[in-house]
Chain A
Amino acid sequence: MAQIIEARAVSKRFRQHRRFPGFFGALKTLVTAEYTEVEAVTDVSFAIAAGEAVGYLGPNGAGKSTMIKMMTGILVPSAGDVTVLGRVPHRERQANAREIGVVFGQRSQLWWDLPVRDSFELHREIYGIARPRFDENLKSLSRLLDLEPFLERAVRQLSLGQRMRAEIVMALLHDPKILFLDEPTIGLDVVAKDAVRKFLSRVNRERGTTIILTTHDLQDIEEICPRLIMVDHSRLIFDGETAKLRTALGSARRLMLEFAADPGPLELKSARLTSDDGLRKHYLLDRDDVSLVHVLDELGDTTTLKDIALEEPNIEEVIRTFYQRRNAELPLR
């Protein structure tokens, strides 16, 4: 499949005025002209093919939004190259903008005091969308996101969920090839989040729109993005299938064995005992090549075994484990 976004050894450094701590430090800050460079993105490379849905994940300050801003032409990279649909976004910002849609979860693009439809009509003129195509897109997208009842309402009178749905519809009215979403579900309630996720999945599947999504909500990624790019401290630490993240970051599976009668302390070679409640014993399976068959083989006599449960860690656990390990200064990769 054709690569429509390519980032090659991209870095972005921000120059910041150096600040000194304390009151006298503040005075010193006023009279000095010292600068420090903050690395927001360091040597990041990836390629995204047409039709993919990619989650861009990382903690606050990891460089997610900065990367989105470079791909949309807002920021100029300090080093490396970004190309989107064969263009360098910051050099051909307007041509790039014509073929992408952007949604910022915390920044509205709608006119606050006017009805939603007015913002859509302005969007039509800005992007030069032919009237029949605009009407058709507005109708189908509004129906999918249940936006029709709010089209004539002033944006300031909408709830956050309704507003976000309007923002997403607007970003799709010109049939962009790529949709960038920067934390689109932030602040939304469970129902609104669910509606947005289902809609985005459908847009990706049915319209073939490539989706790049940054989020803190891992459920967004699990439901929308088969592929995950993870960054931490400005560097790329994982790029692959979301389902394979656990293997890559080495999070253990959990095993629970329940017995009809307490067999006493039960240490296993294939699994690590983490808690023992007598009848119920909990283990962690650290190695991927260990299966339930290995565990049962090692147990031998299973006549007192009443129940068994093997749980894959969810993405949130995987990432939490990763950050905990990182904070304990263990090797990252």
Chain B
Amino acid sequence: MLRTLRILPRLALMYLRSQMEYRGAFWIDRIAQIITYASSFAVIWILADRFGTIAGWNWSELALLFSFHLLGYSLGACMSFTQMRQLEEAVRLGTLDTLLTKPVSPWAYMVFSGLNPGYTGHALLGIGMMGWALSIVAVPWSIGWVAYFAGALISAAMVTGATLTMIGATALIWTRSNHLYSLFFGFWELSRYPINIFPTAIQATMLSLVPLGFMAAVPVAVLLGKPVPILGDWAGPAALLAGPFFVALAMRQWRYALNRYQGAGG
């Protein structure tokens, strides 16, 4: 365990160095991401500006929701998305086999050897917008509020990482998993908006099967004192516990899938 922890920074550094080999692609990718997210912000701003509020949320509150979502996602996805999306190929080409013959956790090796610096763009944009939103939104500042904010953000990152890991792990059993990411990103788009704008069935799905409601909509509603459908008064603790709960579930599913791994070919 200690040895695994010791090698993780080296793995991350090696990945970073290998990415730097292709500087042009690295910077173009970062700029493209910032433009993509800025245009998404612009759409929400136009909607909020045109209609005043969306389901009782004004533009600055929506900006806090959007930035919380972006920051939580970038923290969780930098440790899971690229790595888990590549798992399908690793299974198909047999490169996962090489990880399984090393005395380290294959999950930890995969995560840290693909720790994606590309999410710095997301994080910077998220932090900038969050700072602006927090300066405008009426926030009941207190140590408890700040602690809850930090805890909910970590929990949101954990929900992201766990969901992406669970999708990736299906490749260990079915060989293919990448088609499930379209499903993830479908709900991911929805999870950037207040959850109360959706029909009850979608709300229930986003709080259970595809738990992306906990990425931002639930914790930010709690932070701003807004009502949360279905969960009601349980929304506060649920947003904090969702991360650890889904991480534990993802770990269990990963182990189960690894034991059923059949390889591909050979």
A contacts, CB < 8 Å to B = 14-15, 65-66, 69, 72-76, 90, 93-95, 97-98, 100, 102, 104, 106-109, 111-114, 118, 121-122, 125-128, 154, 182
B contacts, CB < 8 Å to A = 3, 6-7, 10-11, 14, 17-18, 21, 93-95, 97-98, 100-105, 259, 261-263, 266
Main secondary structure of the interface of A (DSSP, over half): mixed
Q: Which residue of B lies closest to A114 (CB)?
A: B18
Cβ–Cβ contact A126 & B103, under 8 A: yes
The interface residues of chain B lying within 8 Å CB-to-CB of A108 are 95, 98
Q: Give the docked Cα–Cα distance between A121 and B7 (Å).
A: 11
Cβ–Cβ contact A72 & B103, under 8 A: no
Interface residue from A66, A72, A128 paired with B100 (Cβ < 8 Å): A72
Q: Give the docked Cα–Cα distance between A20 and B100 (Å).
A: 34
Known: A14-B262, A75-B263, A107-B95. A126 touches B102 (CB 8 A): yes
The interface residues of chain A lying within 8 Å CB-to-CB of B10 are 121-122, 125
Cβ–Cβ contact B14 & A126, under 8 A: no
Apart from the given pairs A69-B266, A74-B100, A113-B21, 5 other A-B contacts in the complex at a CB distance below 8 Å: A14-B262, A66-B266, A69-B97, A97-B103, A154-B21
The interface residues of chain A lying within 8 Å CB-to-CB of B259 are 76, 90
Cβ–Cβ contact B261 & A74, under 8 A: yes
The interface residues of chain B lying within 8 Å CB-to-CB of A111 are 14, 18
Q: Which residue of B lies closest to A74 (CB)?
A: B100
A–B pairs, 29, beta carbons within 8 Å:
A14-B262, A65-B266, A66-B263, A66-B266, A69-B97, A72-B101, A74-B97, A74-B100, A75-B261, A75-B262, A90-B259, A93-B100, A97-B100, A97-B103, A98-B103, A100-B101, A104-B97, A106-B94, A112-B18, A114-B14, A118-B14, A121-B10, A125-B3, A126-B3, A126-B102, A126-B104, A127-B103, A128-B3, A182-B266
Q: Give the docked Cα–Cα distance between A98 and B266 (Å).
A: 24
Nearest CB of chain A from residue B10's CB, rounded to whole Å: 6
